[in-house]
Amino acid sequence: MTATHTPEQIASIVDRTKEFTLFEWGHQNITPLVVDHAKGVHVYAADGTRYIDFNSVAVSVNIGHGDTRVADAVAAQLAKIEFASPFWTTEVRAEVGEKVAQITPPGLKKSFFTLAGADANEAAIRTARLVTGRRKILVRRRGYHGATQGVLPMGGDPRRWAVEPGVGDIVRIPDPYHYRALGTATEEEFCRSVLADTEEIIRLEGPHTIAAVFVEPVTGSNGVIVPPQGWLRGLRALCDRYGILLICDEVMSGVGRTGRWFASDHEGVSPDIMTMAKGLTSSYVPLGAAVFSEAIGDALQDIEINAGLTYQSHPVGLAAARATLAIYESDGLIENSEKMGHYLRQGLHELAERHPSIGDVRGVGLFNTLELVHDRDTKVELFTLTGPNSAGQGELGAALKANGLLAGLRGPWLMACPPLCITTTEIDAAIEGLDAALEVADRYTSA
Ligand code: PLP
């Protein structure tokens, strides 16, 4: 543990950050961690403490930290041409466009490169409305699609309260959240009933008024809700039956996170539009994409696209994407995500035997969560997403950090989403840290 900064320097960084900058989402009375550098799955704080990044920062640094191959690619692109008009093109734009068409499900072809996930979703929704001439968008009750004015109300996350009622024409469909389903239906029966409810909503709303069904195939920051097998295929079938577009938001679930290129691949589903960001560049440089089917691409030859931002198709972002996508393949990271996902869940299930606060363990690939409950029988959440943060939540966060883990804790969900380059030894270390930290959560249960 070698400190890169003195305690005085660290205090000064915190003080000046707080004096001259604002933090997003919530109150300003936080004490931020001062980080200095990072490598692989580890983040090093300025005081020298090493942490396992158990959340890949924002479930986004998929290839791991500090990869000089991406840094070199970015530097080379900066030296060549730092920025190009979105109406010009570059070799890297052509190459990444072609590569994205190859790795996305069949039928998807044309990328509209954006800066992040929210604007990719904005472009997807606006284009769906443009090509169908319809307004309504069906969204999951639990989901998150970004924080811009248009898509924030489309999430089910309470963060939407800030801007409601928003742009309107949003209709909510039920979630395939089996753990919280009432009754004793099997996954298969539950899936059928969710799809039947969804079909009824489509019919009562009027299919001719609905532009798209817009979903995360696996809801991420609202609970890593892994749907029963057949749910996404069922949604695709409903969209086909009623002539509605299917948009999959793979901003968090995509680009290797689930052990396949995309979560949609687990069901062999091709959406009409897919969005991505985060893992596309592994967050080294901001870049997102809305990828349209060939049919929509053809339709757009005769209609004017009504979206665009100054920095779209940024060559530096695209250079980071080209290097990152090559690393997933050369380093076998998607296969590792699947393999390490099984290993990690085994460890999480073993923890569940010892810790009454763990109500459910679920995930796919390295996209996992522990759902923490007050009581396993009633499944009452230990911490809620909607209420004020409880003392226990803060204590658990502190205990995770004290045990060497930077983890994502939202409401009752403790995310287990490390970089895809993680090894079994590093997972063992993370499980050990969780084991110690969860003692705090257990104290808040009824057990
Ligand atoms: N969609 C999903 C599923 C996300 O998880 C996120 C961010 O976490 C977004 C969209 C928004 O992406 P961004 O914050 O890059 O705009």
Query: Do residues 187 and 194 make contact, with C-beta atoms less than 8 angstroms apart?
Result: no
Distance of alpha carbon 397 from alpha carbon 345, whole angstroms: 21
Residue 135 has pLDDT above 90, yes or no: yes
pLDDT at 388: 67
Nearest to 414 by CA among 439, 389, 383, 442: 383
Determine the distance separating the centroid of ligand 1 and the alpha carbon of 147, expressed in angstroms.
8
- For the Cβ of 120 lying below 6 angstroms from any atom of ligand 1, the answer is no
pLDDT tens digits, one per residue of 298-353: 999 989 998 999 999 999 999 999 999 999 999 999 999 999 999 999 999 999 99
Distance of alpha carbon 277 from alpha carbon 255, whole angstroms: 9
Query: Do residues 150 and 125 make contact, with C-beta atoms less than 8 angstroms apart?
Result: yes
Sequence-ordered alpha helix ranges (H) in 230-363 = 231-242, 294-299, 315-330, 333-354
Determine the distance separating the centroid of ligand 1 and the alpha carbon of 443, expressed in angstroms.
33
pLDDT tens digits, one per residue of 394-421: 899 999 999 999 999 999 999 999 999 9
pLDDT tens digits, one per residue of 192-221: 999 999 999 999 999 999 999 999 999 999
Phi and psi dihedrals of 210, rounded to 5? -105, 120
Counting from 1 in the atom list of ligand 1, the atom nearest the Cα of 58 is 8
Determine the distance separating the centroid of ligand 1 and the alpha carbon of 100, expressed in angstroms.
19
Which domains are assigned to the chain?
Answer: 7-63+332-442 (3.90.1150.10), 68-330 (3.40.640.10)
What does pTM read for this prediction? 0.97
Q: Which of 55, 61, 145, 410 for mutating ligand 1's site (highest number of atoms within 8 Å of CB)?
A: 145
Return the number of other C-beta atoms located less than 10 Å from residue 398's C-beta.
12
Q: Which residue has a Cα nearest atom 10 of ligand 1? A: 145
Residue 390 has pLDDT above 80, yes or no: no
pLDDT tens digits, one per residue of 348-369: 999 999 999 999 999 999 999 9
Counting from 1 in the atom list of ligand 1, the atom nearest the Cα of 288 is 15
Q: How confident is the model at residue 389 (pLDDT cuts 50, 70, 90)?
A: low
Determine the distance separating the centroid of ligand 1 and the alpha carbon of 252, expressed in angstroms.
7
